[in-house]
Amino acid sequence: MDNSTKRRIATSKLFRNLDWEEADQIFEMNIGSIREYSKGEIIISPEEPFNYLGVILSGEMDVLRVFENGEQYQVHLLRAGNLIGIDTITKGNDVNLFFHIAKTDMQIYLLPVGSVLKPGKISDTIRQKLTEGILGILVHENFRQHQKVDVLSVNNLRERIYRYLSYQQFKRRTSSFEVPYNREQMADYLCVNRSALSRELSKMEKDGIIKYNRNRFEILK
């Protein structure tokens, strides 16, 4: 593993509580490894164990809910820097319901969960810092899930869009901001048809509620 890759992992959310020397101890022990995935490859599937914490180094991943009738919707889009496998720590005997599928070719750094949770593999100090970092990630993820539930709780499409954009504006604390999704991805997040979303955005701009250009938005009132 080259130093550039090590630095990317060391600055990830998973390692954010570690200094460079502590992160390098983990690299030197060769506990984790880098795996490459091809576009369309299933990385995590329902009801199959996934006993790793992963840092996405490159590429994008779809987290999908797939139903028996073939319908599916995107729960989340993960990019470089995002983590996978955090839910395996807390789900206990609960069944995983989601497919994690490579949207593009990907590289992921995988660290066995047992190395983090069980004493003996790494020092107690490093293990505690990693555990504290994971707890912080879980708190953030819980807030993100509550936010999405709040957005999707309204049936009116305009209100749903407005609520989502309001969250994005609050998060970035600026009147003009970019959303992390293209139009198709935004439609998936909002659980609406892409054409319907585009039409409603045009109407909202015409009514003086928002201004937008591709992924950049401004709430006017």
- 68, 21: one domain: yes
- 64, 163: one domain: no
- Residue where a domain stops, chosen among 137, 172, 198: 137
Cβ pair 211, 177 in contact under 8 A: no
- 132, 57: one domain: yes
Structural domain includes residue 143: no
Domain hosting 185: range is 156-219
- 105, 13: one domain: yes
pLDDT of residue 92: 52
Residue 163: which region, alpha, beta or left (left: phi > 0; alpha: psi -120 to 50)? alpha
Contacts of 11 (CB under 8 A, 6+ apart): none
pLDDT band at 90 (very low <50, low <70, confident <90, very high): low
- 175, 123: one domain: no
- Residue where a domain stops, chosen among 84, 110, 137: 137
Residue pLDDT, tens place only, 151-195: 999 999 999 999 999 999 998 888 899 998 899 889 988 989 999
Rounded Cα gap, residues 66 and 74, in angstroms = 9
Structural domain includes residue 145: no
* DSSP letter (8 states) at residue 70: S
Structural domain includes residue 150: no
- 174, 86: one domain: no
Query: Average pLDDT of 43-64?
Result: 90
Q: 50 is written with which tokens?
A: 């996934």
Structural domain includes residue 163: yes
- Mean pLDDT for all residues in the chain: 90
* Number of alpha carbons in the 13 Å side-chain half-sphere of residue 1: 22
pLDDT of residue 183: 92
Residue 97 has pLDDT above 80, yes or no: no
Residue pLDDT, tens place only, 108-155: 999 998 888 888 889 999 999 998 988 888 888 888 889 999 999 999
Top-ranked range on mean pLDDT: pick from 29-38, 63-72, 92-101: 29-38
pLDDT band at 68 (very low <50, low <70, confident <90, very high): confident
pLDDT of residue 88: 61
Q: Environment class of residue 120 by beta-carbon count within 10 Å: exposed (0-12), middle (13-18) or buried (19+)?
A: exposed
Rounded Cα gap, residues 120 and 104, in angstroms = 36
Cβ pair 72, 87 in contact under 8 A: no
Query: Average pLDDT of 17-42?
Result: 94
pLDDT band at 91 (very low <50, low <70, confident <90, very high): low
Structural domain includes residue 45: yes
Residue ranges in 58-156 assigned as alpha helix (H): 87-90, 113-117, 124-152
pLDDT of residue 46: 83
Report the number of distinct structural domains present in the chain.
2
User: The whole model's pTM is what?
Assistant: 0.75
